[in-house]
Amino acid sequence: MWTEFDHESLPMRVRFGPGRLDGLGAEAERLGLQRVLVLATPRQTALAARAASLLGARHAGTFAEARMHVPVEVAEAARVAAKDAGADGCVAIGGGSTIGLGKALALEPGLPVIAVPTTYAGSEMTPIWGLTENGRKRTGRDPAVLPRSVIYDPSLTTDLPRAISVTSGINALAHAVEGLYAPDSSPILALMAEEGARSLVGALPRIAEARDEALYGAWLCGAVLGSTTMSLHHKLCHVLGGSFDLPHAEVHTVILPHVLAYNSPAAPAAVSVLQRVFGAADPASALWELAGTLDAPRSLAAIGMDGARLGEVVEQVMAAPYANPRTPRAEELAELLDRAQRGLPPA
Ligand code: NAD
């Protein structure tokens, strides 16, 4: 039962639907942009070229060197490209890595961003930025980095390989799960988290024909992430991804069932929502089973973690405070990570 809560909606303008990328030029015009820099990863240069042609005379240049976790040197190179192009805005077209780079340009020199997500990571819905320097990822919240417009075009996700679709979708689910037990959650966010999680859980097993449903779910889960304080799961993934260079979505996929199992006894309201979503009494086990059915990684070892270094993860997580329904002791964290490392079911 909710007694008292605060709720603040972030400003978000969304254009959703297959083919909506075609309206990119009109969206740039609506924002008054004249010289737009297109951002992408090296794997998505064809898509960047399509965005450039849709922008027509407003296209001022393309920087297709976005990389995971926004290394500071990549952000710096993008700033030089923006300056050389005389850019007054940018289009970030791609996954969380590309949108993260757009956010770096929104911070400095302050360019407005149009985000066109092609994965389910959800960064486009959040005011959270991240930059990685000397192997450490710094993150912060700043309303200035929230994209001014978001175009969700499910037809851009049909090329997303099934394996990335699944891990990226579970990354989005993690936002919903932690939003449900966040200290600053609200009934409105709980509705969004439930609807987002239900869409993704329904879409992932039949992803080829459910791209629109998955992207809709990712939008809602991303919006929950953008409005709440994340807990132990995101903290662990931040350390594992940022300091041990493990792939972002895969880390989320491996860790989430374990943290959900650990937090479940202290988060009954979240568990009852997730019981409805999974149609199962034990959502953590259902999630672990779902990942297995979809051939997603279930062990940290399988995605490159050195088991001898798990103690360093525990130390880093224990060193900085974070919100969580339960306060784990170092031994509990070590046990959780050991199970995740070995691919054991959540306990
Ligand atoms: P990603 O952006 O690195 O994309 C993974 C790979 O898939 C890239 O090579 C990309 O080019 C390719 N790709 C993307 N879309 C594709 C498509 N439709 N078809 C074919 N290939 C495609 O990975 P991600 O998981 O989307 O993002 C991870 C990054 O986002 C991490 O750095 C993470 O920290 C960040 N993130 C930030 C937030 C936030 O709120 N700030 C939220 C979620 C994730």
CA of 268 to the centre of ligand 1 (A): 32
How far apart CA 50 and CA 160 sit, in angstroms, is 17
Same fold, 14-157 and 162-342: no
- Does 320 have pLDDT greater than 90? no
CA of 207 to the centre of ligand 1 (A): 17
CATH architecture label of 14-157: 3-Layer(aba) Sandwich (3.40)
Domain boundaries along the sequence of the chain = 14-157, 162-342
Global pTM reads 0.97
User: Hey, what CATH topology would domain 162-342 get?
Assistant: Dehydroquinate synthase-like, alpha domain (1.20.1090)
Which atom in ligand 1 lies closest to the alpha carbon of residue 225?
40
Summarised one tens digit per residue, pLDDT across range 189-225 is 999 999 999 999 999 999 999 999 999 999 999 999 9
CA of 310 to the centre of ligand 1 (A): 25
Nearest CA to ligand 1 atom 35: 96
CA of 162 to the centre of ligand 1 (A): 14
Which atom in ligand 1 lies closest to the alpha carbon of residue 238?
34
How far apart CA 14 and CA 303 sit, in angstroms, is 34
**Structure tokens belonging to residue 78:** 């993008």
Q: Hey, what's the torsion of the CAs at 207, 256, 337, 268, to 10 degrees?
A: -150
Answer positive or negative: Cα dihedral of 313, 269, 202, 12: negative
Q: Which of 46, 37, 45, 128 is nearest to 79 (CA)?
A: 37
- Under 8 Å between Cβ of 170 and 253: yes
Neighbours of 21 (CB within 10 A): 22
Nearest CA to ligand 1 atom 34: 69
Summarised one tens digit per residue, pLDDT across range 86-143 is 999 999 999 999 999 999 999 999 999 999 999 999 999 999 999 999 878 889 999 9
How far apart CA 52 and CA 57 sit, in angstroms, is 9
Q: Are strands 128-133 and 136-141 parallel, antiparallel or unpaired?
A: antiparallel
Query: In sequence order, what are the beta bridge partners of 141?
Result: 128
CA of 165 to the centre of ligand 1 (A): 10
Query: In sequence order, what are the beta bridge partners of 36?
Result: 59, 89
